[in-house]
């Protein structure tokens, strides 16, 4: 019996290990290159990627082209590659928002050169809308907007974008308090509420907000929303300037430039309209 047991053991030991499962080598090489880019912690040239991964520059370039098409990486137009938008659609919302804000900040100077009006990004803070980043135009304006500046919901262009697309249970009490503070009497309060509701409905319909010299004399402004991958408002983009130069026409150059800006950020980051 001992001999039989030994024979069985020997037979078990003599069995060949199962062959490794077949995979797609090109995919594995591409992921290795992607992991190399991640480890470099920033944008890298093709030469840097090639050296760090041990892959020839021509091979690395072919993999980069494919990964750009899938959104895993992107080229910055200066011969450097960086992590692309698709990765951020898989991460937590805070990471997506941070990356989207960085991208929008990088695009902001080009927008200002295009419309020649001071422009700024705004986010929602615990105390309401807040300016995140400003890029000033070469045209002088009577009002200077600074980062971390906070502004009302009901009578500002960007404020109405937040009021239109954020959770109404959170927004309604804040708006009501603002309108009551501005109203001179009950009749005026009703009038302000009606005007506010009409403007919010228009913002939701057009995905744009505009304001004539309502809060600041002599200044027009236009704002557009930027939504995250779940169709929720992430932040806003606003341009403002003198009434003589800053058009607030819905199909005007400022409004169209802001919409294009918002669409560009959302397209690169995987955001979508609600």
How does pLDDT run across 194-249, given as a tens digit for each residue? 999 999 999 999 999 999 877 777 899 999 999 998 899 999 999 999 999 999 99
Q: Is residue 79 part of a domain?
A: yes
Q: Are residues 98 and 229 in the same domain?
A: yes
Q: Are residues 30 and 97 in the same domain?
A: no
Q: Which of 58, 83, 108 is the last residue of a domain?
A: 83
Q: Which of 28, 58, 83 is the last residue of a domain?
A: 83
Q: Are residues 78 and 164 in the same domain?
A: no
Domain that holds residue 72: 2-83
pLDDT band at 258 (very low <50, low <70, confident <90, very high): very high
The closest of 270, 255, 266 to 114, measured between CA atoms, is: 255
CATH number at residue 211: 3.30.450.40
pLDDT attached to residue 261: 97
Q: Are residues 259 and 229 in the same domain?
A: yes
Q: Is residue 33 part of a domain?
A: yes
pLDDT of 46-80, one tens digit each?
A: 999 999 999 999 999 999 999 888 878 888 778 88
Q: What DSSP state is assigned to residue 201?
A: H
Is the pLDDT score of 13 beyond 70?
A: no
Is the pLDDT score of 27 beyond 90?
A: no
Q: Is residue 274 part of a domain?
A: no
pLDDT band at 17 (very low <50, low <70, confident <90, very high): low
Name the packing angle between helices 25-39 and 46-53 (round to 10°): 110
Q: Are residues 70 and 114 in the same domain?
A: no
Asked whether 89 and 270 are in contact (CB, 8 A), the reply is: yes
Q: Is residue 39 part of a domain?
A: yes
Q: Are residues 78 and 97 in the same domain?
A: no
Mean pLDDT of the chain: 87
Helix (H) / strand (E) element for 267: namely helix 253-269
pLDDT attached to residue 11: 58
Q: Are residues 41 and 174 in the same domain?
A: no
**Nearest-angstrom CA–CA distance, 59 and 36:** 14
Q: Is residue 233 part of a domain?
A: yes
Asked whether 132 and 122 are in contact (CB, 8 A), the reply is: yes
pLDDT of 161-199, one tens digit each?
A: 999 999 999 999 999 999 999 999 999 999 999 999 999
Q: Which of 33, 60, 83 is the last residue of a domain?
A: 83
Q: Is residue 249 part of a domain?
A: yes
pLDDT attached to residue 8: 59
Q: Is residue 171 part of a domain?
A: yes
**Nearest-angstrom CA–CA distance, 154 and 139:** 27
- Block residue for tokens 């509701």: 197
Residue 10, CA distances (Å) to 3, 16, 19, 183 in order: 10, 12, 20, 94
The count of domains in the chain is 2
Calculate what percentage of the chain has a pLDDT beyond 70: 89
Q: Are residues 159 and 30 in the same domain?
A: no
pLDDT attached to residue 70: 80
- Block residue for tokens 């503070």: 181
The closest of 252, 235, 242, 246 to 104, measured between CA atoms, is: 235
């Amino acid at each position: 019996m001992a001999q039989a047991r030994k024979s069985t053991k020997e037979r078990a030991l003599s069995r060949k290990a199962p062959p490794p499962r077949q995979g797609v080598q090109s995919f594995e090489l591409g992921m290795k290159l992607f992991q190399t880019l991640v480890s470099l912690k920033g944008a890298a040239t093709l030469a840097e990627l090639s050296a760090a991964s041990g892959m020839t520059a021509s091979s690395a370039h072919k993999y980069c082209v494919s990964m750009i098409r899938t959104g895993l990486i992107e080229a910055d137009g200066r011969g450097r590659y960086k992590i692309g938008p698709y990765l951020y659609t898989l991460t937590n919302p805070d990471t997506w928002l941070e990356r989207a804000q960085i991208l929008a900040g990088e695009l902001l100077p080009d927008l200002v050169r295009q419309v020649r009006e001071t422009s700024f990004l705004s986010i929602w803070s615990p105390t309401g809308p807040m300016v995140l980043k400003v890029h000033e135009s070469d045209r002088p304006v009577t009002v200077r907007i600074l980062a971390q500046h906070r502004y009302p919901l009901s009578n500002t262009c960007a404020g109405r974008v937040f009021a239109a697309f954020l959770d109404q249970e959170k927004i309604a009490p804040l708006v009501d308090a603002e309108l009551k503070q501005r109203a001179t009497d009950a009749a005026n309060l009703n009038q302000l509420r009606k005007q506010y509701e009409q403007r919010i409905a228009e913002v939701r319909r057009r995905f744009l907000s505009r304001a004539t010299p309502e809060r600041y004399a002599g200044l027009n402004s236009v704002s557009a929303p930027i939504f995250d991958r779940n169709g929720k408002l992430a932040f806003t983009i606003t341009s403002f300037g003198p009434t003589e130069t800053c058009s607030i026409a819905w199909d005007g150059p400022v409004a169209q430039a802001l919409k294009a800006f918002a669409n560009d950020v959302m397209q690169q980051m995987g955001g979508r309209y609600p």
